[in-house]
């Protein structure tokens, strides 16, 4: 796809009220796309809408809790009603839980899964029939490097990201030849409110959310399967871990990749 082909395309971004989702919405607006902005906080979405409109984007704000399947159905219905199609879905909404596995409750794990796994699944299943019928469309799943290598004390979060990574990996292969594409994005540590209270080691500094947003737009334009952001550090960790999980674990602990609570 050429950059100007994003002009007037309808892009749905979940988790658009903050961080990576907000930056992604603005990045698509710069390319002339129409935006459907979803998250729970309406006022924050309206702030993003205002910013997107300065680039001439047509916008629709749909307050949505992605863990509620009915609300996600309504979101995609509203997007279709306003723009007639969903050309790009960015399944980005997410929540973070920092808690050792031995202190977890099933309920807390379910809450994380409800947003990070089921929230993405609902939106994907809702847009797929339209995209397959039109033989066109692009789904972007915002996973995490934590979806490829688990880092303590993020057990519940890591489980949710491995789950969505696995689903996306299968769906990407099933979509071959259908005209519909899927990209999975694996951010490392990103400077957003999600990890504002986490201090990270100098070996793994926080990257700006705009870097992920640009990678998402590029992934759609170039139909990339998987993208690591940043590339070098996580790639080295994943290669070492593929060679030997013992070496991977050593790197995680010696480089303090889990970070520290900053409160």
Ligand X SMILES: NC(=O)c1ccc[n+]([C@@H]2O[C@H](COP(=O)([O-])OP(=O)(O)OC[C@H]3O[C@@H](n4cnc5c(N)ncnc54)[C@H](OP(=O)(O)O)[C@@H]3O)[C@@H](O)[C@H]2O)c1
Residue 157 designated active-site: yes
Residue 208 lies near ligand X (rule: CB under 6 A) = no
Q: Is 190 in the site for ligand X (CB under 6 A)?
A: yes
Question: Which contiguous run of DSSP H or E holds residue 137?
Answer: strand 137-142
Based on the shown chain and the rule CB under 6 A, indicate whether residue 150 belongs to the binding site for ligand X: no
- When the beta carbons of 133 and 197 are compared against ligand X, the nearer one is 197
Q: Does 56 contact ligand X by CB under 6 A?
A: no
Q: Which element (helix H / strand E) includes 96?
A: none
Q: Which two tokens stand for residue 8?
A: 């007037």
Determine if 7 is a binding residue for ligand X (CB under 6 A).
no
Q: For residue 88, give both structure tokens.
A: 């790009």
Out of 1, 5, 40, 218, the residue judged to bind ligand X by CB under 6 A: 40
The set of residues, in sequence order, having a beta carbon less than 8 Å from that of 204 and lying 6+ positions away, is 188, 189, 233, 255, 257, 259
Residues 6+ apart with CB under 8 A from 37: 13, 16, 17, 25, 45, 48, 49, 52, 59, 60, 61, 62
**CB closer to ligand X, 15 vs 230:** 15
| Contacting residue, 59, 95, 165, 183, with ligand X by CB under 6 A | 95
Q: How far is CA 70 from CA 12, 178, 249, in A?
A: 16, 27, 40
Q: Please tell me whether residue 155 binds ligand X under the rule CB under 6 A.
A: no
List the structure tokens of 117.
């796994």
Q: Which is nearer to ligand X, 100 or 193 (CB)?
A: 193
What residues from 103 to 132 belong to the interface with ligand X (CB under 6 A)?
Answer: 115
Q: Give the DSSP letter of residue 101.
A: G
When the beta carbons of 19 and 150 are compared against ligand X, the nearer one is 19
Q: Which of positions 217-236 make contact with ligand X (CB under 6 A)?
A: none
Q: In this complex, which beta carbon is closest to ligand X, that of residue 142 or of residue 163?
A: 142
Q: Give the one residue of 86, 117, 126, 144 binding ligand X; rule: CB under 6 A.
A: 144
The residue from 49, 52, 67, 79 that contacts ligand X (CB under 6 A) is: 67
The answer for residues whose C-beta is within 8 angstroms of residue 6's C-beta and 6 or more apart is 28, 31, 32, 33, 88, 217, 220, 221
Give the residues lining the site for ligand X (CB under 6 A): 14-15, 17-21, 39-41, 44, 64-67, 92-95, 115, 142, 144, 187, 189-190, 192-195, 209
Q: Tell me the catalytic residues.
A: 157
């Amino acid at each position: 796809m050429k950059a100007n082909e994003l002009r007037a395309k309808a892009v749905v971004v979940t988790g658009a009220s903050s961080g990576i989702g907000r930056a992604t919405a603005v990045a698509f607006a710069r390319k002339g796309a129409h935006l459907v902005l979803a998250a729970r906080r309406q006022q924050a979405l309206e702030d993003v809408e205002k910013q997107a409109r300065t680039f001439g984007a047509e916008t629709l704000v749909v307050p949505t809790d992605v863990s509620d399947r009915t609300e996600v159905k309504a979101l995609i219905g509203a997007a279709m009603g306003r723009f007639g199609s969903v050309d790009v879905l960015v399944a980005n909404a997410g929540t973070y839980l920092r808690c050792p596995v031995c202190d977890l409750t099933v309920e807390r794990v379910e809450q994380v899964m409800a947003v990070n796994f089921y929230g993405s699944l609902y939106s994907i299943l809702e847009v797929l029939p339209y995209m397959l019928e039109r033989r066109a469309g692009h789904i972007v799943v915002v996973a995490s490097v934590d979806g490829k290598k688990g880092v303590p004390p993020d057990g519940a979060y890591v489980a949710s990201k491995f789950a969505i990574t696995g689903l996306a990996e299968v769906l990407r292969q099933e979509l071959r030849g259908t005209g519909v594409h899927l990209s999975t994005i694996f951010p490392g540590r990103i400077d957003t409110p999600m990890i504002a209270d986490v201090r990270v080691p100098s070996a793994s500094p926080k990257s700006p959310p705009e870097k992920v947003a640009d990678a998402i737009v590029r992934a759609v334009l170039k139909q990339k399967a998987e993208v690591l952001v940043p590339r070098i550090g996580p790639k080295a960790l994943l290669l070492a871990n593929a060679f030997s999980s013992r070496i991977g674990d050593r790197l995680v602990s010696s480089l303090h990749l889990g970070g520290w609570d900053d409160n």
